[in-house]
Structure 1
Amino acid sequence: MKIVSSSDWRDAITFDVPVVVADVVPGEPTRCVGCGPDGELFDRTELWAVKHRHPKHHGGFVRFYCEAHKPAPAPAPAAAIPLKKPRASAPRAERRTASPKPTPVTDRPVRAMCPECFVEVSADGMCGMCGTQVV
């Protein structure tokens, strides 16, 4: 099952570009988000709709603003910086670093083992599992 968001009038608005509310969604007079819930009602031809980006919802959210609170349009995107061409490098096999080889069993130091539990004992010779003294 594929979950998708539904399509509505907000999808037609470009991010961070103010548009007249009456052009995107008709309806009754409403309030500016900047003026607050006690602000006056504005006709939809006097309000601006701005679609903002949201960090967790890819569709963003839309707010209505009066002329006094209308945010400035988003600046034009900067020109793309050309990427440097990758320089020629050694073949993949030569670039790999040699992984350390495991120490052969014959070169490892001999450590005391508990004859009962078959675990390595500490430096004092006492088994941490069963308490047997190993010499």
Structure 2
Amino acid sequence: MKIVASADWRDAVPFETPVVVADVVPGDPAHCVTCGTETEPRERTELWAVKHRHPKHHGGFVRFYCAEHLPEIEQPPAPVAAPARKPRAASRAARPAVRAERTPAVRRVSSVDEAPRAMCPNCFVEVSALGLCGMCGTSIA
């Protein structure tokens, strides 16, 4: 089962972009959030829906505005072009090669005498402590 947030008309509205309310959600005339409920409701073709960001709700919230109260939306600044980089191969070639000195491998010293283990003459696998081959069942004495 896939758990998703509820899908409604507000999900289709982009953040901080005015959209005509009639294009987003049809219905009866509505009020501008700034004008309040004391004024006459306006047709949805005269209202703008703006989805604002909210610090605690990732889905944001939508408000309806008339043309007179439509907030000015600040456009984000254009991204600054990053300076051109040199190709990786050239930068690696310019670097002097430094070779790390390796420490000699430590040889494991066993505290137990490692005696040769019994092998099955038919399968050539190591047999268990009971002397039975796990592959063919031959008993090795």
Relative to the length of structure 2, the TM-score reads 0.54
Q: Distance in 2 between matches of 1:74 and 1:15?
A: 12
Q: Distance in 2 between matches of 1:13 and 1:36?
A: 22
Deviations 1:73-129 (A, max 9, x none): 33144314638x8xx9xxxxxxxxxxxxxxxxxxxxxxxxxxxxxxxxxxxxxxxxx
The aligned counterpart of 1:23 is: 23
Q: Distance in 1 between matches of 2:10 and 2:65?
A: 15
The aligned counterpart of 1:47 is: 47
Give ranges in structure 1 of 5+ residues lacking alignment. 89-135
4+ residue segments displaced more than 6 Å: none
Measured after TM superposition, the shift of residue 61 of structure 1 is: 0.4
Q: Distance in 2 between matches of 1:70 and 1:57?
A: 23
Give ranges in structure 2 of 5+ residues lacking alignment. 86-94, 96-141
The aligned counterpart of 1:13 is: 13
- What is the 5 A alignment of 1:45-124? 45-80=45-80, 82=82
The aligned counterpart of 2:136 is: none
Q: Distance in 2 between matches of 1:77 and 1:27?
A: 36
Q: How many residues align?
A: 89
Is the CA contact 1:30–1:42 (under 8 Å) kept in the aligned structure 2?
A: yes
Q: Distance in 2 between matches of 1:6 and 1:56?
A: 17
Say which structure, 1 or 2, has more relative contact order (CA 8 Å, 6+ apart).
1
Deviations 1:15-70 (A, max 9, x none): 11101000000000010001012122100000000000000011100000001101
Q: Distance in 1 between matches of 2:77 and 2:2?
A: 33
Instruction: Give SS of 1:62's match.
Output: strand
Structure 1 vs Structure 2 CA RMSD: 2.6
- Structure ID, larger Rg: 2
Q: Distance in 1 between matches of 2:14 and 2:20?
A: 12
